Structure 1
Amino acid sequence: MSQFFESIKIEDQKIFLLDLHQKRVNETFANFGKEGSIDLGKIFKSLNHDEDGLFKLRISYDLDKSFRTQMIPYAISEINDFQLVENNLYDYSFKFEDRKEFERMKIKAKADEIIIVKNNHITDTSFSNLLFKKGKEWFTPNTFLLNGVQRQHLLKNKKIKEVEITPQNLKQFSHFQIINSMNDFDDMFIYPISKITNLPESGEYLEI
């Protein structure tokens, strides 16, 4: 049974952010005391993918280096609303295949998507990192569940900055957006902060 996965952007037969995806896979093997890794670039080439358009390459793998692949046509979806959900115990330091805790939080929420609050700090949605806009600049929380490859890429290229973001200071920002390997911050939907239905003054955030 697979324990981890990577979702990689493939557009017009080109693979994106491969070095960061490979780094994360290598670190996963090393953290759990395993030598070697799987070669994501080699796996992609072996698929002989020859279709243009936007696809998500999902590679599920285990620490014995067994893996399976799916090449899935991808379209960006708009989200109607978001809800802050408090969960101080959840650890998602690695890209685990088991996402039951995310699913449990989403079922209890009364919105399309959740924004997870951990130790009174904004972290991630159930499937992405976050960016928040103040003036003309974009910021990402310095707290996160998973340090995503797009987040790392944008920080490295100085397109965004890290800052402390809590439920109490969310109103300092005018807009936000979600980023992950499939969604960079040039072509994402941008949401007004009011899309978060339970900002502190309009109601307590949901404890899970």
Structure 2
Amino acid sequence: MSQFIESIKVEDQKVFLLDLHQQRVNATFANFGKEGSLDLGKIFTDMQHDEDGLYKWKLTYNLDKTFTKQLIPYAISEIAKVQLVENNSYDYSYKFADRKELENMKLKAKADEIIIVKNNYITDTSYSNILFKKGKDWFTPKTYLLNGVQRQHLLKTKKIKEAEITLQNLDQYSHFQIINAMNDFDDMFVYPMSKISNLPTDSDFSLE
């Protein structure tokens, strides 16, 4: 049976974007034809977490409603090397716990992080959605692998916009940053496009 995960931000005993996480869990059960869901609010209350600080609440669950839970102290780390990786067949529409193919892509790239290119379109990194800066505005690819909760939140609050981002128009952007449930929209962790080690040139859009 497939396992799924939710990584949820908890800071100073407050849970962030819980409604969007709950919606995703509900949609996962519904998509696979299972009735009911897990009550994330109740699970967190039962954990009786009373510590301040930043934590990642990792919930691993099955469609039979069995689950395990962990609260892990969390610190955002900087990225040294990023590489574009092409994979035209990979699908991550639901947040599966099995991340072997993602880890294999990252291992092969020999980079701290990868940006996955699918049929010429920019999608996500191995563990997050991504934003690109053009002028004063930030854009996220329409061609995501997973519609992350932070991505949904930032679009809903109009802090970012969607765009078709391809290998051919990457040179229109000056900077990027990664976002997920644990990584907010944050000017502290903005990277220049030159951080991507294999950006295509005008004469060569291939990643091979």
CA deviations on 1:24-49 (whole Å, 9 max, x unpaired) are 00000000000000011110110000
SS of aligned partner of 2:7 = strand
SS of aligned partner of 1:145 = coil
The alpha carbon displacement at 1:166 in A equals 0.5
Which runs of structure 1 show a deviation greater than 6 angstroms over 4 or more consecutive aligned residues?
A: none
Question: What is the match of residue 103 of structure 2?
Answer: 103
In the alignment, is residue 149 of structure 1 matched against residue 149 of structure 2?
yes
Whole-angstrom distance in 2 between the partners of 1:147 and 1:128: 10
The alpha carbon displacement at 1:116 in A equals 0.1
Question: What is the match of residue 162 of structure 1?
Answer: 162
The alpha carbon displacement at 1:2 in A equals 6.1
Question: What is the match of residue 94 of structure 2?
Answer: 94
Whole-angstrom distance in 2 between the partners of 1:106 and 1:52: 33
Whole-angstrom distance in 2 between the partners of 1:187 and 1:44: 30
Whole-angstrom distance in 1 between the partners of 2:6 and 2:111: 26
Matches within 5 A, 1:4-153: 4-153=4-153
The alpha carbon displacement at 1:168 in A equals 1.3
Q: Which segments of 5 or more consecutive residues in structure 2 lack a partner in the other structure?
A: none
Whole-angstrom distance in 1 between the partners of 2:120 and 2:24: 27
Conserved in 2, the CA contact under 8 Å of 1:178 and 1:188?
Answer: no
Question: Which deviates more from structure 2 when the two are superposed, residues 180-189 or residues 75-84?
Answer: 180-189
Q: Which segments of 5 or more consecutive residues in structure 1 lack a partner in the other structure?
A: none
Conserved in 2, the CA contact under 8 Å of 1:179 and 1:188?
Answer: no
- Aligned-partner residue type, residue 80 of structure 1: A
CA deviations on 1:52-99 (whole Å, 9 max, x unpaired) are 000000000000000000100000000001100000000000000000
The alpha carbon displacement at 1:171 in A equals 1.0
Conserved in 2, the CA contact under 8 Å of 1:2 and 1:60?
Answer: no
Query: What's the TM-score, normalizing by structure 2?
Result: 0.96
Percent of aligned pairs sharing the same letter: 76
SS of aligned partner of 2:169 = helix
Whole-angstrom distance in 2 between the partners of 1:109 and 1:188: 26
Conserved in 1, the CA contact under 8 Å of 2:131 and 2:179?
Answer: yes
Whole-angstrom distance in 2 between the partners of 1:120 and 1:110: 21
Conserved in 2, the CA contact under 8 Å of 1:177 and 1:188?
Answer: no
Query: What's the TM-score, normalizing by structure 1?
Result: 0.96
SS of aligned partner of 1:201 = coil
Conserved in 2, the CA contact under 8 Å of 1:132 and 1:139?
Answer: yes
SS of aligned partner of 2:168 = helix
The alpha carbon displacement at 1:4 in A equals 0.1
- Aligned-partner residue type, residue 117 of structure 2: V
SS of aligned partner of 1:168 = coil
- Aligned-partner residue type, residue 31 of structure 1: N
Conserved in 1, the CA contact under 8 Å of 2:8 and 2:57?
Answer: yes
Whole-angstrom distance in 2 between the partners of 1:13 and 1:165: 37
Conserved in 2, the CA contact under 8 Å of 1:198 and 1:205?
Answer: no
Whole-angstrom distance in 2 between the partners of 1:20 and 1:41: 12
Matches within 5 A, 1:166-177: 166-177=166-177
